[in-house]
């Protein structure tokens, strides 16, 4: 397990989160003008998984359950020696008595599902918890319940021999400034690692997937890439134990280029015990989805877009990226 965790954050590589739920992916397709039906996602995945050279930058792909169960799609990744992961939470639902807050479900029967995923060749798993910033939010109850679920997910995944990617996402939605994001992310991660310790998990055999410490989407006070990188590193240093092999960021609604810049800047600053990598969904596959438009004649263009983002993020792993490379 420790070997898989290390391989996922091998130098120059990162993870692609191709695990949007059917509901989410239909929305993403709609947003870029694709009139999607239930076959669209399988077609899109096939086009992108076939991208030549993807394995040079992408160590692992997180799949939605249906995609893991699709032998053709799964085998494309196997043939490229790309590790297969699976999203195992069943989504975030409203938290009773706490309007605006969410709790992720999916622990019931998880041990059996994990065993099945392993038999299908999965090597790692992901669980996403959602923390919302707002008036009187997040509550201690929301953080407490979500980190407890994350800890059980982590322990169960490790019991089955799957590397857990632990994702406590503090959402970028809202008017809050970066200081508030810093405070909430710090509290969430501190609580999370306290809980993981209590649950006796193996910190060497997991990865953390956090948000960038970032101003809210609707905050009038936007901060620089530098401040985002600095504050994110400060929070991680104060909360994440050295044993964790890697931190793989989610993009959270940042543009592709901004997300790449944050990872790049953090790697330039360096001085941290963990690998700083990526596990993006939108920031990796978003541009490809836009050019694809569900048309066969756009296959190559979509693959080029994905490969470009994968390559830019790979460069960011060593701090070797700069924005001018986008136009080369």
Q: Does 229 bind ligand 13P (CB under 6 A)?
A: no
Stretch that binds ligand 13P, among 43-51, 152-160, 199-207, 249-257 (CB under 6 A): 249-257
Q: Does 103 bind ligand 13P (CB under 6 A)?
A: no
**Shortest Å distance, C-beta 271 to ligand 13P:** 25
**Shortest Å distance, C-beta 128 to ligand 13P:** 4
Residue 207 near residue 247, CB atoms below 8 Å: yes
Beta strand pairing call for 58-63 and 275-280: unpaired
Residues known to be catalytic: 167, 209
**Shortest Å distance, C-beta 150 to ligand 13P:** 13
Q: Does 104 bind ligand 13P (CB under 6 A)?
A: no
Stretch that binds ligand 13P, among 46-54, 139-147, 229-237, 244-252 (CB under 6 A): 244-252
Spatial CA neighbour of 316 closest among 283, 282, 281: 283
- Residue 269 CB-density burial (10 A; 0-12 exposed, 13-18 middle, 19+ buried): middle
Give the C-alpha separation, 7 to 46, whole Å: 24
Q: Does 228 bind ligand 13P (CB under 6 A)?
A: no
What mask of x and - would describe binding to ligand 13P in positions 283 to 302, judged by CB under 6 A?
A: x-------------------
Q: Does 86 bind ligand 13P (CB under 6 A)?
A: no
Of 154-183, binders to ligand 13P (CB under 6 A) are: 167
Of 255-284, binders to ligand 13P (CB under 6 A) are: 280-283
Give the C-alpha separation, 212 to 231, whole Å: 9
- Residue 290 CB-density burial (10 A; 0-12 exposed, 13-18 middle, 19+ buried): middle
Nearer to ligand 13P, 71 or 218 (CB): 218
As given in the structure block, the two tokens for residue 207 are: 């990865």
Nearer to ligand 13P, 143 or 283 (CB): 283
**Shortest Å distance, C-beta 12 to ligand 13P:** 19
Give the C-alpha separation, 304 to 25, whole Å: 21
Residues 6+ apart with CB under 8 A from 185: 170, 210, 211, 213, 235
Spatial CA neighbour of 292 closest among 14, 55, 51: 51
Angle formed by the axes of helices 299-316 and 256-269, nearest 10°: 20
Nearer to ligand 13P, 101 or 327 (CB): 101
DSSP label at 167?
E
What mask of x and - would describe binding to ligand 13P in positions 6 to 25, judged by CB under 6 A?
A: -----------x--------
Nearer to ligand 13P, 27 or 197 (CB): 27
The footprint of ligand 13P (CB under 6 A) covers 17, 128, 167, 250-252, 280-283
């Amino acid at each position: 397990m420790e070997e898989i965790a290390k391989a996922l954050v091998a130098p120059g590589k990162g993870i692609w989160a191709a695990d949007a739920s059917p509901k989410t992916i239909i929305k993403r397709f709609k947003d870029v003008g694709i009139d999607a039906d239930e076959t669209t996602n399988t077609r899109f995945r096939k086009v992108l998984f076939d991208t030549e050279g993807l394995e040079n930058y992408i160590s692992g792909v997180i799949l939605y359950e249906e995609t893991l169960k699709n032998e053709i799609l799964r085998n494309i990744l196997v043939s490229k020696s790309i590790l297969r992961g699976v999203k195992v939470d069943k989504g975030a639902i409203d938290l009773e008595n706490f309007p605006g807050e969410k709790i992720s479900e999916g622990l019931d029967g998880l041990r059996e599902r994990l065993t099945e995923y392993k038999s299908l060749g999965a090597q790692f798993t992901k669980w996403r918890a959602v923390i919302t910033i707002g008036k009187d939010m997040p509550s201690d109850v929301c953080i407490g319940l979500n980190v407890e679920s994350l800890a059980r997910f982590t322990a169960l995944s490790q019991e089955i021999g799957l590397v857990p990617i632990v994702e406590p996402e503090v959402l970028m939605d809202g008017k809050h400034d970066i200081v508030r994001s810093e405070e909430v992310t710090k509290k969430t991660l501190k609580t999370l690692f306290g809980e993981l310790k209590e649950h006796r998990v193996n910190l060497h055999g997991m990865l953390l997937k956090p948000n960038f410490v970032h101003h809210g989407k609707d905050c009038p006070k936007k901060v620089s890439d530098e401040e985002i990188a600095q504050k994110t590193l400060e929070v991680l240093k104060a909360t994440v134990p050295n044993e964790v092999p890697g931190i793989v960021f989610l993009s959270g609604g940042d543009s592709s280029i901004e997300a790449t810049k944050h990872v790049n800047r953090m790697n330039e600053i360096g001085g941290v015990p963990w690998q700083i990598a990526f596990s993006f969904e939108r920031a990796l596959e978003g541009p490809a989805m836009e050019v694809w438009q569900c048309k066969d004649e756009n296959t190559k263009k979509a693959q080029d877009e994905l490969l470009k983002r994968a390559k830019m993020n790979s460069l960011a792993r060593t701090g070797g990226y700069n924005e001018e490379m986008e136009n080369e």
